[in-house]
Amino acid sequence: MKLKYTFKDKTAIVTGASSGIGKALAYSLAEKGANVMLAARREERLRTIVEEIGRKGGSAAYCVTDVTDETDCQRMVEETVRRWKTVDILICNAGISMRANFDDVQISVIRRLMDVNFFGTVNCTKYALPYLQKSKGTLVGVSSTAGIHGLPWRTGYSASKFAITGFLETIRLENLKKGVHVMIAYPGFTSSEIRYHALTADGSSQGNTPRNESEMTSSEEAAARILKGIRLRTQYQVTFTDLVVYFAKFLHKRLLNRVVYNMMAKEPDAPTNEQ
């Protein structure tokens, strides 16, 4: 009889854990009895979250980490193993977005998106994977609808999310006989800080969100779906909307292109660059 999966006493690393989905994942994992290493750049936020988890009886620590820095990622994984001897779950959630027409955007902005979203996933996976192989654990990459179909004015964001998919699908194949569970999560449009910090054409943060955050999936809901996918060891965690986009892409791509463009163009001050 197959035993029911439990998070109790598992050791999990969550990147981008100072806000949004990462923060929600950290709280939820701790509530379920996991040891949680929170990784992000904002130390004050990380400390506050870890202290609150501790007050509730959970087990958590933090490591200030810039996922674009390979050395930082190695140190973070080593600190996790030093504390809890293993890594059972790695959730690569750290990410940034952008909102600019490619005609206007600086190439450095695209590189920044790839460094954080794609290479951040690569860096963390590189050093955690040997431990995940030993524990037959789970590797999760948090992607996006933009990783299923390109979104206008998000060239770097979409490119980085497509790259994550290719990378993780390959890692899955290379570890088929090693027992590592690899899941790509597509949480859909989720209420978080990512749009407030999205980069504009010159690399500055836009400072606000062009969408109604209250109409989106909450970070807590997105986190719950991801944890369910881990528990069931699914290869992909997708929302209904993402499934529609996926199938529409193959069934009627031209129509989907128009629908996606029109939807995104409705955002206030959308950088359409239309003549």
Contact 163, 112 (CB under 8 A): no
Q: Which residues contact 241 (CB under 8 A, 6 or more apart)?
A: 145, 188, 189
User: % helix / strand / coil in the chain, to the nearest 5?
Assistant: 50, 15, 35
Beta pairing partners, 205: 199
Contact 106, 155 (CB under 8 A): no
Q: List C-alpha distances in Å: 50 to 15, 35, 131, 220.
A: 14, 11, 23, 17
What is the rounded CA–CA span in Å between residue 253 and residue 53?
A: 46
Residues known to be catalytic: 157
Contact 16, 190 (CB under 8 A): no
Which three-class secondary structure state does DSSP give residue 170?
helix
Amino acid at 14: V
Nearest to 5 by CA among 27, 37, 34: 34
